[in-house]
Amino acid sequence: MKIYPAIDIRDGKCVRLMQGELQRSTEYGDPIEMAKRWEDEGAYYLHVVDLDAAFSGSFVNQDIITKLVQSIKIPVQMGGGVRTKEDIRVRLDDAGISRVILGTAAVENPELVKWAVARYKDRIAVGIDAKEGRVAIKGWAENSNIDPVSLAKDMHKMGVANIIYTDISKDGMMEGPNLDKTEMIVKETWMNLIASGGISSLDDIRKVRETGACGCIVGRALYDGAFTLQDAMKAAK
């Protein structure tokens, strides 16, 4: 199982939110320096979220993210505000992102998902963000009536290979991940699932690995020094 250090970008800074709320954020400095740090510490892949784009739909951090990608040798997957063909093209073809994550678009525009998978294959992932058992959209600001497992099955039928599953109630709270739902999605779809939200200990990482997930995104626990990246990677093996 791969460990993906998380870099969330807001107003050009690396931040961590609690439960996706902008007013509950902590700054951790320059995102480019943070990317270099995780690469130096042995990361194989980075998970970047453009929070400004997620909430506004505008790719205002394009320059910073392009520089971030160019400053390291490891691949970057990125989400936040990816809602049109042009959004996808700019990130994959211009900015050099290795994989983009469709969130709101997967719910509101399935035809876009089909187009993206046909053109970019496994460079397309779908982010399923759940709040109170339902899929949340538009930067987690709105709830839909869609069940996360049902959405994962629909995406699988469209040819999507990679899912990033986040339980928003757990995100940034250091209370442990939602293991039951993670395992349910893995077992019912057999997709490549990357789990996100709530990782607080090395034991949490081991438990995520046992669900059958192929990856685990870690944010606040790394930034707050709960464990090192090397220790996280050992726990994931």
Q: Which positions are annotated as active-site residues?
A: 8, 129
Cα–Cα distance between 129 and 89 in angstroms, integer?
23
CB 123 within 8 A of CB 160: no
CB 188 within 8 A of CB 171: no
CB 203 within 8 A of CB 236: no
Place of tokens 């997957």: 77
Residue type at position 180: D
Cα–Cα distance between 99 and 29 in angstroms, integer?
24
Instruction: Give the phi and the psi of residue 180 in degrees, each rounded to 5.
Output: -60, -50
| 217 bridge partner residues | 4, 196
Give the alpha-carbon dihedral of 102, 130, 47, 205, to 10 degrees. -150
